[in-house]
Structure 1
Amino acid sequence: MSDRLDFMSQDDEHFRKHCGGGDITGLAEGITPIRPAADHSARALQTDPMTSALSHATNNALFEATRARRVLHRNTIDYVARLIREALPDAAAITVDTRDGELFEVRDGHGTALYRAPFTPASPLHDSLADDIEDLFRHAFPFGGLDEAGWETAAEGLPYRSVILPDVTRRGTARSHFPTPEGMASIHCEYTPGVAPGFQIAGPDSAFARETRDRIRAAIVNSGLEWKPGLMQITAHWTVAQSGSSADLAIACTALAAAGAIDPAALNNVAVIGELGLDGMVRPVPDVMGAVRTAQLAGYRKFVVNGTRDFDTVNEDVRITVVGPNDLNAALAFLHEMYEPTTTLDAGREGTPGEDAGKCAQCDERLVWDSTGRCVHDTQGGYFCYGPRRAGRRTHVLAD
C-alpha cells in the first residue's frame, strides 16, 4: 500500500497544476468527501428475496439523495452567483456564515472586498437581495455536504466558509452508461473551471469512490493528460461499484469528455469497459462477455475494451463493433474516431432514412442511410469502417 501511495504522490504536483488540483493520494486535509452511507449490496446477495429487494431500494434511495444534494448545492450557488453579479459584475468569491446562513463578504478576482456585512444603506447589495440570498443558503446548508460542494473554511475560521462563484457558461458535462449486474447504470461528470480545484466521486460506497478516484487521477497524470484548474464532480450509480475497477475506463473517459478532451457525444451508444492501471494502461476485466451481453440487450453495438485478452474474446461476435486500446490515450482516440464518422458525405449524396445505400467501397459491408439521410452506417448502426481501407477513409465509403 505504501508503495502505491508513494508512486501516486510522485505525480501529485503535476496533477495539482494540470488536472484541477487536489491530492492524488486522497489524503490531503480538507478535500476528504463526506462519508457516504454503507453499501448493502453484498448483504443482498446472501439473504432472501424480500431483504434483497429492500437492500436494493435503500441503495437506490441513498444514491438519489446524494445526487439530489449535489444538484441542490450546485443550483443554489449558480443562482446566487447570478444574483450577486447583477449588482456586482466583478464578484468572484463569497464568504458565508454557514451556521446562520448570512452573507459575510463578496470579493473580486484580486481578493478586494466588494461587499462586507453588516448591510448599510450605502451597500452595493440592496437589503432585499441579500435577504433572498441568505434565505437560499438557510434552506440548502442543513443538508450538509459543503466540503463536497467546494466550500472551504474561510480565514475567519468556522462556521465561516468561502466558495468561488462559478461561471456557468463554461461548465462542461458528459454522461455515459456502464453495464452492471442490474443493467446499464449511469455515470455523470460535471467539470466547472475556475473554481476551487477538486476531483470528487460520489456514491454510497466510500471505498469504491476513494480507490477509483486514486486510480483514475494517477492514470490521467501518467498519460500526460490535463485540464485547467477546476472542480470535477463524478456521480456513478451505486451498481457501478458492484463492478469494481471494471468501470475505471468509462469513468475516466467521461470525466475527460466533460473537460473537453473529446466531444461528450462520442460516448453515446458506446460501452466502455476496462480497468485502469496507475500508469494509464487498460487492463482486462473479469467476465467481459457478461458485461457485453448486458449492453447488447440494452441496444449497444459499439464497445471499447482492453486491447489484448478482452478484445480477442469480444471480437468473436460479428454482430458488434469492437476496438481494443492498450492505454487511456488510445481509448480517447478510438472514441473520437468512432464518433467522427457522423460527418456528412460529399455534397449531393443523400438518401431516404432507413433505405439500402449499397455496399461500402472499402469493406463490402451492406450500408443503410441513417436518420439524417446524409450519412450511412452498416446494418448494426456502425459508421466506422474496420475493413481494408482501399479509399483511405476511416468511415464507410459509398461506392461510386
Structure 2
Amino acid sequence: MAKLTVEDLPLEGKKVLMRVDFNVPIKDGVVGDDNRIVAALPTIKYVIDHGGRAILFSHLGRIKKEEDKPGLSLRPVAERLSNLLNKPVTFVPVTEGKQLEDAIDNMKNGDVLLVQNTRYEDVKDGEYVKRESGNDPELGKYWASLGDVFVNDAFGTAHRKHASNVGIATNMPGKAAAGYLMEKEIKFLGDAVDNPERPFVAILGGAKVSDKIGVIDNLLDKADKIIIGGGMAYTFYAAKGIKVGNSLVEKDKIDVAKQILDKAGDKLVLPIDNVVADKFNNDADTKVVEGDIDDGWMALDIGPKSVEEFKNVLKDAKTVVWNGPMGVFEMPNFAKGTLEIGKFLGTLTDATTIVGGGDSTAAVKELGVADKLTHISTGGGASLTYLEGNELPGITAISDK
C-alpha cells in the first residue's frame, strides 16, 4: 500500500492518537451491536502491545443541540471496550481542555483512553457550529497537539472531511498512518475496483437510482456484469417502457436510466419477475408477476426466476461486490430475494466476495455466511464513494510512505 500503516510508525512510549469508528447502537446505556468495536481491536492491541499509549477518538450519532449530548455519550462504549480488551479503559467525558490533557499526561505505556464523542464539538453554547463535522482548522490542530503520531482506522468516516480524521492528519505530516481495518478496506475495495480478477460482477440494490448513479457509471467501465435489484430496478423498468404499477419510480431519473441502459448494453441485468403487493405492508396480498405490473400493485422483492437468473450470472464470477438489498429487506415477507443472494454468495469459494451497506451486511450475518465471504465492509457510505471512483478525504490525508 502506498500509504503509511500502523506498522511503519514508532510506537514505544508514544502518545498514539487513533480515529476509530465506534458509532454503535446504544440502548439504556448498553451497547447493542459491538461489531465496530471488535473490528478496531487488532489495531488497538498492536499499538498497546508495542508500548504505545492509545488515545481513541470516535463520533456517535449526530448532535445538533445540547439536549442530544447526554444520550450520545461514549461512556458505555468505554465499558464495552474495557471488557473486550480485558483491561481498564479511561473514559474522559470532555473533548478538550485541562481534564483531557491531564488524563493523557498521566497515561503509561500500554494504556487506553477514550475521548468523549467528537461530535460534542458540533454544538457550543447552544449553537450548532459543526466544529467536528465541518473540519474546524483550530480543532484539528488542537487534537493533533495532544499526540505524537496518528492512526486512522475509521473507514466508515473516510468519505467525510472531519476534524478528527482529516484535521488531525493534516496537522501531523509524515506521522499519519492507516490502521489494519483501514488498510484491509483499501486493499479489498481498491483491488476489486481497479484490478479485479474476472469475471467481475457487481450487485447493486436499494431504493433509489439517484443514490447509485455514480457507482453504476464508474462500474460500467470496470465490471463484466451489473445486477440491479431493489426499488431502483423499477426506474429502469420505466425507462424500458415496462409498466410498473405503484412501484417506486424516480420520474426525474428515467432519462438518466435510459442513458445508462444505452451505454450498458447487455452488462446490466434487471429482474425478470417480481413479488408484487397490493400495499406497502408485510401482510399485504402478494403474487409473482413477469413483465408489466398492474396498477394498484407494487414490486417489493425480486421473484424466483430473477433469483435463479442472478445466481446464473454469479456462478462463474471471480470478484463480486454487493451493495444494497434486492427488496424491502426489513419486511420478512419481502426479504427472500436478498437472503437468497446472500446465501449463494457464501457458496462462491473460488471468488473474492465483498459486501457493503447495512442491509446486505445484515443479510449475510442473519444467514450465518459472513465468515464465508472475503470481506464485509464497515462503511456503507465510504464504500459507495470508493465504488464511484471518488477520492475519500480520510484516506487522502493519511501520509504517503
Give the alignment's TM-score, normalised by structure 1. Answer: 0.24
Q: TM-score, normalised by structure 2?
A: 0.24
Query: Which has the bigger relative contact order, CA under 8 A and spacing at least 6?
Result: 2
Greater helix share, structure number: 2
